[in-house]
Amino acid sequence: MSSIKNEAERCLKCPKPMCASNCPVATPIPQIMNLFLDGKMAEAGEVLFRNNPLSAITSVICPHERNCMGHCVLGKKGGPVEFYRIEEYISRFYLETMTPPEIEKNGIKVAVAGAGPAGLSMVMQLLLKGYDVTLFEAQDNIGGVLRYGIPPFRLSRDLLDMYRELMIRMGLRFRPNTRIGTNIQIADLFPDGYKAVFVATGTGRPNKLGLLGETLGHVHFAIDYLKSPDTFTLGSRVAIVGAGNVAIDAARTAVRRQHSHVTILHYKGTEDMTANRDEIEMAEIDGVEFVHYAQAVRILEDGVRCVRVVRNETEDGQTVFEEDYSDTFDVPADSVILAIGQGPGADMNTGSVKLTQKGLLDVNEWGETSTPGVFAAGDIVTGPKTVVEAVAFTKKVFPRLEEYLKKQ
């Protein structure tokens, strides 16, 4: 692996950079490369921070191969520039050395519900503009999926702690263990002087398979397991149903924490997996076994019953997957983990805020809900997406939210 200086020197600093145009938050990559090579670390960190306050986090967990790195022109004939390595170094250095800017407060109160990626991104943007922000979070600390869904070996918790300290130094009021939609309703916030509410409560309810055996004592949901893996006793063999990033995270955690042999059951083939390529490779290195073209049809006391899935091409070139119920097999397991996606929590009482058929918040392209003054972004709007996609949509919502506040 080349040094980050050598990696920055490889960059062509393209006049029309495909890497930047394919970055969800439009990071000005050539500018950052030039500042870095000129030794202007503080300036480079400032540019990254102002463009994306969570750059120290997204640089670590972004699906780089789909975004910046996947569109580097050098990747057509060789190895693409690994910009994320430079971004991670600069962003962390900036967080560790920055002095919070002196910002004149404007006296306008805004409530943010949810301390995940979208919520934290909005909080930082509001604080930088002088708003008085109160952050409500159902858990005991900030981070949301960053803290309770992504394993520490992928994302260091000290990064999140640095963000919390920085935001509090900038004037944030933080209310942990407070769930908006239960004790406190959205409508309760406006009489107390909040001029706008930003909802980013995520999708914390795991989806069910709807199979026999799903309520058995050795069956767990991946997002529950990842919150506190040490409280689970999984046994020596674990089967995981699902093949996204959450499934991979659960698998790699079980290998480390429980010393289990882990088998991932996937309905489609290797090329159809939605998890990041590098994470799949690391799971393979960690010893995780993959069984593709397998559909779980029943959970047993000692395993998972599956049927074989057949991949076919239709006459018009479409790919279809069909279960072959004549070809059944059992995968032995002491525990079964389900990782087939999440939806909005059933306890989220939104009052007059309109919902979609899936129970997500119904917003326009600017994150405005049906209730004036209530905005939303993140997974509670889009369903489960990547962290950088949540940040990107929040970045788009902020100008409209600020425009609303100025009219008030």
Is 104 contained in some domain?
Answer: no
CATH number of domain containing 366: 3.50.50.60
362 and 346 in one domain? yes
d(CA 395, CA 301): 47
Instruction: Count CB-CB contacts under 10 A for residue 231.
Output: 8
pLDDT at site 375:
97
pLDDT at site 317:
83
pLDDT at site 136:
97
pLDDT at site 183:
79
Is 103 contained in some domain?
Answer: no
Q: What domain count does the chain have?
A: 3
318 and 226 in one domain? yes
Q: Which of 57, 73, 97 is the last residue of a domain?
A: 97
Is 213 contained in some domain?
Answer: yes
Is 102 contained in some domain?
Answer: no
pLDDT in tens, 55-65: 999 999 999 99
Q: Which of 277, 308, 338 is the last residue of a domain?
A: 338
126 and 86 in one domain? no
pLDDT at site 344:
82
Residues 6 or more apart in contact with residue 89 via CB below 8 angstroms: 4
Between strands 342-343 and 205-206, the pairing is: antiparallel
313 and 240 in one domain? yes
The answer to whether 342 touches 380, Cβ cutoff 8 Å, is: no
Residue 275 sits at the vertex; the CA angle it makes with 228 and 65, to the nearest 5 degrees, is 125
d(CA 235, CA 251): 13
Task: Compute the radius of gyration of the chain from its Cα atoms.
Answer: 23
Prediction pTM value: 0.92
Q: Which of 35, 66, 97 is the last residue of a domain?
A: 97
Write out the DSSP string of 176-195. Answer: TT--BTTTB-HHHHGGGTEE
Give the residue ranges of the chain where pLDDT is below 50: none
189 and 127 in one domain? yes
134 and 85 in one domain? no
Q: Which domain holds residue 50?
A: 4-97
347 and 199 in one domain? yes
CATH number of domain containing 80: 1.10.1060.10
Reading the block at residue 390, the tokens are 């949540």
